[in-house]
Structure 1
Amino acid sequence: MAKAKQTAIITGGARGMGLATALIMAADHHLVLTDVDEQALADAVQRVEAAGGTAEYVVADITDRTQVDAVFAAAAKAGGLRAVVHAAGVSPHMTTAEKIIDINAVGTVHITDAAHSVAGEGFALVNVASIAAIMVPRFLIPTRAFRYAATDIDKFRRKLVSASLRGGRKMSAAQSYPISKAFVVWFSADQSARFGAKGARILSVSPGSFDTAMGQLEAKGGAGKLTEFAALKRFGKPEEIGELLAFCASDKPGYLTGIDILCDGGTKAGMGLKEKIELARQA
């Protein structure tokens, strides 16, 4: 008897890293894709089905917990939910500091809490962070405010937005992005014991510069400059990060949890303090 296909949720599944991951995971998972762009989601489902997989979509804004719950309800109806790859996010050139905190940080809290509510033995949640989380001085990251994510989400949001505005409105979006992604790394580690108590895993993956629409949008704001310091002096391909995300979400690395995995083409390895200052000045 053939093994029943399991289900995976992929946020940001309409394009970029999310879609690249979906096309890989479709080999052995039914997919529930979610994003805010319905036409892009419909196109993504068509691509998955053309490749021989099965998928459905739910239009959802991850800053709204009710809409997040609707995504998980669709996955529950499909049956066998085993993994979530949370790839949805926005970058500095896309929106305001407030929206970046809402989507990247608050949205991650909503996805993580919803995932924990259904997690069981063998379940995995992979949150997408960013190399930006480690590219700014630690004193600019309001780590002490992160703990409010589990107790007072409104206070958590206010504190992260306030920290983003310290350098003024002009720089606030650029500052909010590393803050939001540092939170994703921190929260994924912080929640590992909570998930582990249910036999489940949670971790984060931090991509460097990748050739996605968002990556190209940020090319002049630092993503392109980063490749000059990298061992591999090019943008990464979406399928390259997709393979890593799909592997982390699979049942193969069953002892991998509570950690961040940097996939940056050797960028961090090629950067010292001088290079970080140069990058900060350019940004």
Structure 2
Amino acid sequence: MTQTVIITGGAGGMGLATAKIMGRDHRVVIADVNRERLDAAVAELTGLGIEAEGVVCDITDRASVDALFATATRSGTGTGTGTGTGTGTVRAVVHSAGVSPQMGTAEQIIRINALGTVNVTQAALAIAGEGFALVNVASIAGHMTPKLLTPTRSFRLALTDLPRFVRKLTSAAKLAPKSMHSGSAYSVSKGFVIWYSQEMAAAFGAKGARIVSVSPGSFDTAMGRLEEAKASGKLVEYAALKRFGKPEEVAEVLAFCASDKPGYLTGVDILCDGGTKAGLDFESMIAMARAS
């Protein structure tokens, strides 16, 4: 039986780079909100000899996420497009879909990055079994909010009351000056991804499955370059490696975490930032927050 990996945000950037690696020994189902981007990515993967399928999915909508997972577990001739031919077992999920501060309002960022992660994680847990792995993409931004200012109590609402969870995280982001709302929402949402991936480790472990998060720093993707004039470009100044990372470099980390090789790795966040956080002190973190 063919093993399948689902990759959200798989039509570009680090998601597509991860699909190229995992496609060597997996059937790949990539998801994105844009059909044209999906079709182009599937064509590229197919040209590399990878069995690939594209599914339009809105991660803020649980029904849409469930439909993605259903498509991934049945014949590739379903609602997606691509070269899938047979039913496969979903062995891993790499959740790289998300938006940056320049791409939406505070509420939109919370809904996509935080609520979207809850939807994907819960759908993954529902099908998880022995050897399954979920990798959630967070961000170095999730490490930059002081613990005392991290709205952990609001994070816990993700376990009980999702509408209130979205409202509370959006309100927390708006405590900052108006010009910083989107940047604050991004940091809060990615801090949540790190927290939630750790919080859910026991539930996945009970099924013999793993969950980790990976926090990239500044990478040379369309999203990363969109933020270059602000946060991502500024971060490079503090990095040990004075350059943007390549999508293929973080993709290797994501693919490894999603593989069956690190079988005892779960409930942790892996920082892949070129040594950026190592070069940040409290004052520089405050400067970064203002820049974003």
| TM-score relative to the length of structure 1 | 0.97
Name the residue aligned to 2:129. Answer: 120
The unaligned stretches of length 5 or more in structure 1 are none
Deviation per CA, 1:215-262: give whole Å up to 9, x if none: 000111211111111110000000000010000000000000000000
Q: Is the 8 A contact 2:155 2:165 kept in 1?
A: yes
From 65, 69, 72, the equivalent of 1:75 is 72
| Normalised TM-score (structure 2) | 0.94
1:1-53 CA-partner distances (Å, limit 9, x unpaired): xxx43100000001001001001100000011100010110111111111111
Per-residue CA deviation, residues 55-87 of structure 1 (Å, 9 max, x unaligned), is 001101000000000100011113211000000
Query: Equivalents in 2 of 1:80, 1:222: separation in Å?
Result: 39
Match of 1:41 in 2: 38
User: Cα offset for 1:171?
Assistant: 1.8
1:50 pairs with 2:47: yes
Matches within 5 A, 1:81-120: 81-120=90-129
Partners of 2:68 and 2:290 in 1: CA distance: 41
Could you list the per-position Cα deviations for residues 91-114 of structure 1 after superposition, in whole angstroms to 9, with x for gaps in the alignment? 100111111000000000000000
Q: 2:103 aligns to what SS in structure 1? A: coil
Indicate the residue corresponding to 2:205 in structure 1: 196
Question: Which residue identity lines up with residue 264 of structure 2 in the other structure?
Answer: Y
SS of residue matched to 1:84: strand
Aligned partner letter, 2:135: V
Partner SS, residue 93 of structure 1: helix
Structure 2 residue 224 is the aligned partner of structure 1 residue 224: no
Aligned residues: 280
1:80 is paired with a residue of what secondary structure? strand
Q: What's the CA shift for 1:277?
A: 2.8
Uncovered stretches (5+) of structure 2, i.e. residues with no partner: 75-86
| Coordinate RMSD, CA, aligned | 1.0
Aligned residue type for 1:102: R
- Deviations along 1:192-223, one digit per CA (max 9) or x if unpaired, are 00000000000100000000000000111211
**Distance in 2 separating the partners of 1:278 and 1:66:** 40
Secondary structure in structure 2 of the residue aligned to 1:8: strand
User: Contact (CA 8 Å) 2:180, 2:290: kept in 1 or not?
Assistant: no
Following superposition, the deviation at residue 181 of structure 1 comes to: 0.3
2:220–2:247: 8 Å Cα contact kept in structure 1?
Answer: yes
